[in-house]
Structures are given as C-alpha cells and as structure tokens.
Amino acid sequence: MKIAILTGAGVSAESGLGTFRDKDGLWTKYDLNEVATPEGFARNPALVHDFYNARRKNCVEATPNAAHEALAELANSQHDVTLITQNVDDLHTRAGSPAVIQMHGALMRALCASCDTRWDAPLVMDPADSCPSCRQQSTRPDIVWFGEIPYHMDAIGAAVSNADLFVAIGTSAEVYPAAGLVELAQGRTLEINLEPSARANAFDDHRFGPATEAVPAWVAELR
C-alpha cells in the first residue's frame, strides 16, 4: 500500500519537545513574529539564534519515542511510505526512518542567506558566524519561517495525491500549506491526534490518543 504520512509537533511531544499551540506551547511563551519570521531575524538576529539554539539543545538531549519508532518500522516494511514532517527536530531520522521530508527545514542544518549554501549547524549559532562558502556573516538556521515557502512542495503534493492512504499525526492543522494537504488526498484519510484538529472534518477516519500509544497500535494493524 502507498502511504503518505504528515507529522507535527504532537509526535515529538512525549520526547519532551514542546508543541507550539497547546497550553504551555512555544507560541504562548514567544512571539512568533519576533523569532519565526524573516523580518524578526532582520530586526534581532541574536534573539532568533538564541531561540533556535535553545531548541537545538533540547533536540540533541531528546530521544525518539515509540511513535517515531513505529513509523520507522512502517517505513522499512513492505509498504511504500513517504514520511513528511513539519518538525524541525531529527527524531524520525534517529528512529531509523529513511528519506524524511522536512518541509519546515531542519534545526540541525544552517543556511547562508547570501549564497544558499547549507551545512551541519553547530550546536550554538551566532550572528557573527560566517558562511563556509562565501564568508558572508549571513548565516541562519535552515528553518522555514512564516512568510517563506515550505520545502519540497512538489514531491509532497505528488506523494499525497498518489497515496492509497494519507495519515496526519500530531498536528493542529493550523498552518498552511501543510493543513491543506488532506485536500489533495485521493485515497482514504486518517487523523491520529490527541484531540480533533482544526481540519478533523476533512478526514475519513480518526484515532484520538497520545502518539506513543495510538501510532504503534495503528502500525501493528498494518503488519
């Protein structure tokens, strides 16, 4: 079976990485206009680097949970799986999923805003860092900020529309274009989340519960 999976912050919540919009979520503590937009970065790059440095530290200290592991098992099974994530952590990869599509970028990667070179991010990034290629002091986290276009949209659209099953896991469906992918699906659609998302009505089937329980239970049924 061809399965396209979209994950969000809820998949990593039980690894100790905060979600964005839940009570105590990151966007209740930080102003996303200041830390997650190109304009915020232009105003105060040190503040933005501090925010992502803290998140990178949390990510390095976190370990994949049973949901990441079950999805890796599925990706390595007889099924044809495309794993798309909005998450900028690397927990799907560390759990063993091959070829994860990180549509919102990667905490562990750095990007030169001048020449588009990418490289492995150091644990702590600083506005004074220079690009290893062009030497400009215009390095930024390789994160897709609000107002920027997510990565790999053509491949994502093709995978979702060609899938027999599209599954969204641990996402509030508040952020587009990810939240609109369900509209492209021509096969059956399933939402797995703690609670109904903003787009719950667009899905055929639903399973509600913590990702570490609901995802392994669903994967076990596909064996």
Between 82 and 172, CB nearer to ligand OAD: 172
Give the closest residue to 25 by CA, choosing from 150, 210, 141, 172: 172
Which residue from 15, 17, 19, 59 is in contact with ligand OAD, where contact means CB under 6 A?
19
Q: Quick check: 93 binds ligand OAD (CB under 6 A)?
A: no
**Catalytic choice (68, 92, 104, 152):** 104
**DSSP annotation of 196:** -
* Count of residues interacting with ligand OAD (CB under 6 A): 25
Q: Quick check: 170 binds ligand OAD (CB under 6 A)?
A: yes
- Please tell me the distance from the alpha carbon of residue 52 to that of residue 113, in angstroms, as a whole number: 16
Helical pair 66-75 and 211-221, crossing angle rounded to 10 deg: 20
Which residue from 175, 184, 202, 222 is in contact with ligand OAD, where contact means CB under 6 A?
175
- Please tell me the distance from the alpha carbon of residue 4 to that of residue 155, in angstroms, as a whole number: 11
Catalytic annotation on 104?
Answer: yes
Between 128 and 146, CB nearer to ligand OAD: 146
Q: Quick check: 139 binds ligand OAD (CB under 6 A)?
A: no
Residue 73: Cβ-neighbour burial (10 angstroms; 0-12, 13-18, 19+)? middle
Q: Quick check: 144 binds ligand OAD (CB under 6 A)?
A: yes
**How would you list the strands of the sheet with 105-112, edge to edge?**
118-120, 105-112, 139-143
Positions marked active-site: 104
Note the residues at the interface with ligand OAD (CB under 6 A). 8-10, 13-14, 19-22, 25, 36, 86, 104, 144, 170-172, 174-175, 193-195, 197, 210-211
